[in-house]
Structure 1
């Protein structure tokens, strides 16, 4: 698949993930608060770079943008390799991202409570990242070129 197609597929997965996170955090008591992790990360990175971190709506918006771009590039890997494995790659990328989202924050110096405050929160975190990976796979499947147009199977 072309790089641009992979990025579009990745963006589809990232978009679905962000929409789910935003809707759920406003409506489900034990929903993961990935935005809080992201905001803490933006503040720490800004401070480490000697830059005044954004606050309020600017912090929220920049975190959402960084999260979208990072996830889009991550999920864009779904289109690399043989087309017959797109769905397995989407599943694997999603599961890996979800497990990483609950396992890594504390290890990198972030408060892990937003994704680990209950078993339901952990399950939802993994489930939503997995849905993002599968959405990227679905988009890649829809966007892939036909074999006659040069795609390698």
Structure 2
């Protein structure tokens, strides 16, 4: 698959992940808040370089943009290599991203609570990233037929 098609499919997966998250994040206190984790990570990275983002809205927008770009690049890797292994890569990369989102914040010095405060939130967080990978796989499959 071409790199452009991989990026387009990765963007589809990243958008699906973010639409799901944004749609559900305030429905219940037991929903993942990937946005809060991202804001914490961005502020800490900026603070390391002696900067920060004061405006809550600007922080949210910068985090969302970074999330879409990062997930697009990550999910685009699903299309690399032998297409015979597309669906195993979808499962592996989706689960890896979700499990990483749940398990890596604390060792990275971030607050894990927004994505790992209980088993429901952990499971949904993993499911969100798996959904993004599945959408990427579907997009790649559809583009292969054209």
Q: What does the per-residue CA deviation read over 1:18-66, in whole Å, with 9 as the maximum and x for residues that have no partner?
A: 0111111021331111100000111111111122324210000000000
Give the distance between the partners of 2:59 and 2:121, measured in 1 at CA: 23
Task: Give me the whole-angstrom Cα distance separating, in 2, the residues matched to 1:133 and 1:52.
Answer: 32
Structure 1 moving runs of 4+ over 3 Å: none
Alignment partners' CA distance in 1, 2:2 and 2:34: 30
Paired residue for 1:63?
A: 63
1:30 alignment partner, SS class: coil
Question: Which residue of structure 2 aligns with residue 149 of structure 1?
Answer: none
Distance in 1 between the 2:68 and 2:54 partners?
Answer: 18
RMSD of Structure 2 on Structure 1 (CA):
1.2
* 1:102-113 equivalent positions in 2, closer than 5 A: 102-113=102-113
CA distance in 1, matches of 2:98, 2:55: 27
Residue of structure 2 in register with 1:99 after alignment: 99
Work out whether residues 47 and 53 of structure 1, in 8 Å CA contact, stay in contact via their aligned partners in 2.
no
Q: Is 121-130 or 48-57 further displaced after alignment?
A: 48-57
Match of 1:8 in 2: 8
Measure the CA separation in 2 of the matches of 1:99 and 1:11: 20
How far apart in 1 are the matches of 2:120 and 2:99? 13
Structure 2: stretches of 5+ with no match in the other structure:
none
Deviations 1:53-86 (CA, angstroms, capped at 9, x unpaired): 2421000000000001000000001101121221
Computing the radius of gyration over CA atoms, which structure comes out larger, 1 or 2?
A: 1
Q: What TM-score comes out, normalization by structure 1 length? A: 0.91
> Which segments of 5 or more consecutive residues in structure 1 lack a partner in the other structure?
147-153
TM-score, normalised relative to structure 2: 0.95
> What are the superposed Cα offsets for residues 98-123 of structure 1, whole Å, 9 maximum, x if unpaired?
00000000010000000111100000
Aligned residues: 146
8 A Cα contact 1:13 1:75, kept in partner = yes
In the alignment, which residue of structure 1 is the partner of 2:17?
17
